[in-house]
Amino acid sequence: EQLRKGVRSESHAPRIARRVREAIAIMANAPKTARASGLFEGVVAALEDLDRRMGPRVRAKLGEHLGASIISKEAQAIAKRVFGQLNGTRIIILLRRWC
């Protein structure tokens, strides 16, 4: 919800990066009941919606703020283990696109 506005300008990249990190951290620390309830699908869908609204220059700036280590092999394995195969893959696809 906090990312609905301000995704067209490169100057918003630091704020977007902070919110993306927060969303991923919240999902990573969510109890199993939240994971089973479909919470992850909603968060990942919101990140995908965010991506659709960003231009290439904003994505490039976002990648600079997120850093390349976020798409390492280790990070990919952790994402799939923590978020499940489907949602982990969806998150990885977004992170690769941004980084």
Give the DSSP letter string of 2-27: TTSS--SSGGGHHHHHHHHHHHHHHH
Q: What interhelical angle do 56-66 and 85-98 show, nearest 10? A: 110
Q: What is the pLDDT of residue 32?
A: 80
81-94 mean pLDDT = 92
Q: What is the pLDDT of residue 6?
A: 56
Q: pLDDT by residue (tens digit) across 28-76?
A: 888 888 777 888 888 899 999 999 989 899 999 999 999 888 889 998 9
User: What are the boundaries of each domain within the chain?
Assistant: 10-98
Distance CA 30, CA 49 (A): 22
